[in-house]
Amino acid sequence: MNRGTLYIISAPSGTGKSTILSEILRADPNIHFSVSATTRAPREGETDGVDYCFLSKERFKELIDTGGMLEYAEFCGNFYGTPRQPVYDKLNAGKDVILEIETVGAKKVMSACPEAVSIFILPPSLKTLKDRLVSRNTDPIEVIERRVAEAEREINLAQNYDYVVVNDDLDAAVSEVKSVMKAAKKMTKLNHDLIKGVLEKC
């Protein structure tokens, strides 16, 4: 059985990545979404074990110390991390896995798993991003200011990713991410065995 493909998707908050991701996951049951662990408090409507595993700082640290995290990072004063085992289990079972993570963690996964395919979702502009965060009405203004500053820093790192997609129009962005994910399956870095196999048939 072929191993699944590992996708890293990063996007500043307010870029609409959650909506894009839910569309992608709805359309393809072979894709597994890696549920991250975090020390931040749940937002209204978020469910433990579905959106995130909400952990205390102590429990999060314990997981790091026992090697249970594939990667982790501190973001806006909270810790976020990817539990390692479920990712490898799904990939080994032939499922594709999406990690929706910020840039520091993404960089760690890119070096640890060079076969991972990375996609950065951009907002049309920083102004649009701030307007979206304000209208979402889930965070106080000082948190929004901090997230916009963080977004600017993250967008500067978009060039480290394999692909970039702008979310100006939701349907177009979903379709572009799907195309990119499909095209990525043909990247040479994911097809060394295929090339070797053809040569062996000589």
Sites of contact with ligand 5GP (CB under 6 A): 13, 36, 40, 71, 73, 75, 80-82, 100-102, 104-105
CB 71 within 8 A of CB 87: no
Give whichever of 16 and 81 is closer to ligand 5GP, judged by the CB atom: 81
Residue type (1 letter), 90:
K
> CB 11 → ligand 5GP: shortest distance, Å?
7
> CB 162 → ligand 5GP: shortest distance, Å?
17
Give the residue closest to ligand 5GP by C-beta: 105
> CB 36 → ligand 5GP: shortest distance, Å?
3
> CB 188 → ligand 5GP: shortest distance, Å?
27
Give whichever of 17 and 176 is closer to ligand 5GP, judged by the CB atom: 17
Give whichever of 86 and 95 is closer to ligand 5GP, judged by the CB atom: 86
Give whichever of 75 and 161 is closer to ligand 5GP, judged by the CB atom: 75
Give whichever of 11 and 181 is closer to ligand 5GP, judged by the CB atom: 11
> CB 127 → ligand 5GP: shortest distance, Å?
19
CA distance 83 to 168: 32
